[in-house]
Chain A
Amino acid sequence: MTAELVRGQNHPLSHTRLEIRVSTGHPVLACVSCADGGGATREDLVAHPASPVLPGVAVPAESGSAPRCTLDLDAVPEGVEQLSVVLALPGLAAPERFGATAAPFVSVAAAGGEELASFTVSGLGAETAVVAVEVYRRGGVWKVRAVGQGYAGGLAEFFADQGLATAREFAGAVATAAAPAGARTEPARLGTHGDAAGASASGAGRAPAAGATRPGGTPLGEPAPSPGSGTDASAAPAPVPEPGPRTRGAIDYAHPGRRTAAPPPPPAAPEPASPGAPPAPVAGDASGWSMEERLYNQVWGMFEDLARAVAAYRSAVEFAESRMDKELDRALTDPRARIGSGGEAARAAARSKCEELTDRARQALDRDLAQLTAESGVVEPALPAAYARWDNPVWHAYRVPMEIPMALRIGDIHLPEDPGLRLPLLVRLPLERGLWVDAGRSGSDAGTALDEGTLRRLAAETAVALAARLIAVYPPGEFSVHVIDPAGSAEGPLAPLAETGVLASPPARGAEGVRSVLARLTERVDLVSMAVRGGAADALPPGVDTSEQLLIVNDFPHGFDDRAVTQLRYLADEGPSVGVHLLMVADREDAHAYGPVLDPLWRSLLRITPVPDDHLADPWVRHCWTFEPAAVPAGSTVLHQVLEQVTAARRSWGR
């Protein structure tokens, strides 16, 4: 029965004639080093490609991906207590370390063929040589131990460990001998040996004929052909090899044959340019099943990080100022400080303490802002259309989507600490609540600077750009838009929607139009929610449109009677769950006649402004973020192009 060994485990051997088969995905050279009980060896006790046969030991003369070593433990020289099977990368071609290759598999079999034990040498990294297994005698019994000890310094380091004084030269000779004939003139790169040692040993390394030493072809126990390489190398001036940093991996207790389905560890992050500096940001560097989800999570991560970095800065500054105030007060109230220069000095000290702390806080903030700005610089160009600004080239390369995106960018947000760092404000789709574009002047500072007509036009344009975005990111036919524009005041801004024919029906005018649109949508919401509650979605009457609906209401409450207002509130409450959404363009002041009864309606909508305004709070620290809507750049025709593509796609899809 085969024993599957784990690193460090040993196993008694029932046979003394053994065959050790190694399989790797790439050529390796195999050596067997015979050592005494103390673990020390001599050059003439190492079977290696230049000297492949020793009493009781034979190894292949060339590197290969499936080397076989044969051992006859009864025939090994007197005093040999321990035989280490070492694998080394020839080093002439990639891979240059075991970590970059498949884990070598070592099988210890009886000469007859029965497998006795096996071992997968896992968990290797920068090593270029590894002691795979060790066969040793303990109390007269031969055992095999799974070792898996790697050496980053290659064979040279291993031989140094085995007590060879000229380990470096010897390793060079071994490596050269193992190299394929064409490559032998070139000094082997294995380990850290010098070129001279490799070249001087290369001649001697060719001595044995490769064919004669194939396992099975060589009778064991034969006296070995005298290896020239060892003596040659030892004659060369031998600098004592410095033991390099050896990677002694911790014992891996995992069963090598029972790997779980856990994904392999991610490749090491690229080294930062300077120690201590954060690694360069990468777009999509967040968790998620798709790139879209990863980007969504990354944007939210940046949002949170910016909020928290600014919170740290603000709290440090606030603390510095309150401490300074306290110290100034103390200096003022201290009667001793009033006379002489003591008080002045105390005040100056308090001020400089405050400045020092503020400066340090600013430095920390600048460091964070620089990192986030760099991240934003790589994330913005990588965003899909639904997350991108209108000026992003992805909108010019727009193609009608097949799936609903996760989220939609409705604008940008920034904090006063760094107005240049603008993050996308993404809302999840399908919309969970309606939107309200505030056309009122009282709402924002920037709004008060504009006259009412301009602001209303901007509000309507913002709403149209948003509706166009929603139409564009939904698959064709799965999103229809209705417009209520009772007085026709938004005719200009609505033109892109009306001209390209993406509206379900022309904008409704007058009180009659308001009533009919609301009645239709109310009926739809009622029917669909009834069907959903009753679990009978297929029982809907044929005329009901089950696609998502957006109702744009301009100039509310113009043209609305009480009944229409009630219906609108019903749509705002019940609509989102059955796919009917509201986009209001309104000035709250216009509806003040209704008093507080409309407050729940306004509160249920996500308020956005057509001009930059700081009214949005983040969920973590409640900073006031300045919102800026996603506006189409002046003079750009991207909106028309996109909407025309949508209409063309709807036509060709027959919807």
Chain B
Amino acid sequence: MTVNMTKGQAISLQKSDGGTLTAVRMGLGWQAAPRRGLFGSRTREIDLDASAVLFADKQPVDVVFFRHLVSDDGSVKHTGDNLVGGAGSGGDDEAILVDLQRVPVHIDQIVFTVNSFTGQTFQEVQNAFCRLVDETNGQELARYTLDGGGQYTAQIMAKVHRAGSGWQMTALGNPANGRTFQDLMPSILPHL
């Protein structure tokens, strides 16, 4: 069962059978808007980047993005940079795997962001989505569609934070502007 999340909605990352999730994948998929014109090979490719920032008590401790693919503790892994997006399928183009059990004890929030590295706004992106998948069985837990793209180049997608003994996810869906996650830090902080 997939929850189509709306902005600000929070879901608890508990399995339906009561067990806690051990590994989740944050997948990001997109397509460039269709091209018009003669020189199709000169398609302006859109490079979206998924990043995850690990916070301990509202201080950034570690970050996982295309230049630092694995967090130092090994619990958060980026599967690698995709520079062009999906050719048309609905699969994940970039993914960040989080091993929730192994996240260091002091990390209490993980914020996922999407940036347009090449500078196009989300108006030029089609079918962009961000989804959270239970990595142990491939079941989609939540999906958040990046539609209604406006004149901004980044979005703070969601955060996964500790709640009691387990984890909770909150969809943020907050537009921002920036090329990499560093530019987004001021916009992230209010959401912590």
Residues of A within 8 A of B (CB): 304-305, 308-309, 311-313, 315-316, 319-320, 323, 357, 360-361, 364, 620-621
Contacts and interface: CB of A to CB of B under 8 A. Distances in A.
A364 B62 CA distance: 18
* Residue from B62, B70, B72 with most neighbouring chain A CB atoms (10 Å): B72
Nearest to B62: A315
A312 B56 contact: no
Contact of A361 (B61, B70, B105): B105
13 contacts: A304-B74, A308-B72, A308-B74, A309-B74, A312-B102, A323-B57, A357-B106, A360-B105, A361-B105, A364-B104, A364-B105, A620-B70, A620-B72
Contacts of A316: 104-106
Nearest to A320: B106
A308 B70 CA distance: 10
Contacts of A308: 70, 72-75
Interface of B: 56-57, 59, 61-62, 70, 72-75, 102, 104-106
A309 B101 CA distance: 12
Contacts of A311: 72-74
Contacts of A357: 105-106
Nearest to A304: B74
A591 B164 CA distance: 61
Nearest to B102: A312
A323 B106 CA distance: 11
A313 B75 CA distance: 12
Nearest to B70: A620
A315 B74 contact: no
* 5 interchain residue pairs of minimum CB distance: A308-B74, A312-B73, A312-B104, A316-B106, A311-B72
B106 A361 contact: yes
Contacts of A621: 72
Nearest to B72: A311
Contacts of A320: 106
A312 B61 contact: no
Nearest to B57: A323
Contact of B106 (A305, A309, A315, A620): A315
A497 B35 CA distance: 72
Contacts of B105: 316, 357, 360-361, 364
A345 to B, nearest CB: 20
A311 B106 CA distance: 12
B72 A315 contact: yes
A309 B102 CA distance: 8
A315 B61 contact: yes
Given A313-B104, A315-B61, A361-B106, 9 more contacts: A308-B75, A312-B73, A312-B102, A312-B104, A315-B106, A316-B105, A319-B59, A319-B61, A357-B106
A515 to B, nearest CB: 50
Contacts of B62: 315
Contacts of B75: 308, 312
Contacts of B56: 319
A17 B37 CA distance: 65
B77 to A, nearest CB: 11
A514 B96 CA distance: 57
B91 to A, nearest CB: 18
Nearest to A307: B74
Contacts of B73: 308-309, 311-312, 315
A182 to B, nearest CB: 44
* Residue from A304, A311, A620 with most neighbouring chain B CB atoms (10 Å): A311
Contacts of B74: 304-305, 308-309, 311-312, 620
A364 B100 CA distance: 13
B118 to A, nearest CB: 30
* Residue from B57, B62, B74, B105 with most neighbouring chain A CB atoms (10 Å): B105
* Residue from A311, A313, A315, A357 with most neighbouring chain B CB atoms (10 Å): A315
A304 B77 CA distance: 14
A620 B102 CA distance: 17
A309 B74 CA distance: 8
Nearest to A361: B105
A361 B57 CA distance: 15
A304 B102 CA distance: 14
Contacts of B61: 315, 319
B172 to A, nearest CB: 24
B25 to A, nearest CB: 19
Nearest to A323: B57
Contacts of A364: 104-105
Nearest to B103: A312
Contacts of A319: 56-57, 59, 61, 106
Nearest to A368: B102
Contacts of B106: 315-316, 319-320, 357, 361
Nearest to B56: A319
A364 B75 CA distance: 13
A313 B73 CA distance: 8
A364 B102 CA distance: 8
A304 to B, nearest CB: 7
Nearest to A360: B105
Contacts of B104: 312-313, 315-316, 361, 364
Nearest to A310: B73
A631 to B, nearest CB: 31
A319 B103 CA distance: 14
A312 B106 CA distance: 9
A311 B104 CA distance: 9
Nearest to A311: B72
Given A361-B105, A364-B105, A312 B72 contact: yes
A620 B69 CA distance: 11
A304 B70 CA distance: 11
* Residue from B57, B59, B62, B106 with most neighbouring chain A CB atoms (10 Å): B106
A654 B74 CA distance: 52
B60 to A, nearest CB: 11
A360 B104 CA distance: 9
Nearest to A278: B101
A316 B106 CA distance: 5
Contacts of B70: 308, 620
B57 to A, nearest CB: 6
B68 to A, nearest CB: 11
B135 to A, nearest CB: 17
Contacts of A361: 104-106
B108 to A, nearest CB: 11
A309 B73 CA distance: 6
A621 B68 CA distance: 11
A320 B57 CA distance: 10
Contacts of A305: 74
A357 B162 CA distance: 14
A564 B98 CA distance: 55
Nearest to B73: A312
Contacts of B72: 308, 311-312, 315, 620-621
Contacts of A360: 105
A360 B106 CA distance: 9
B58 to A, nearest CB: 11
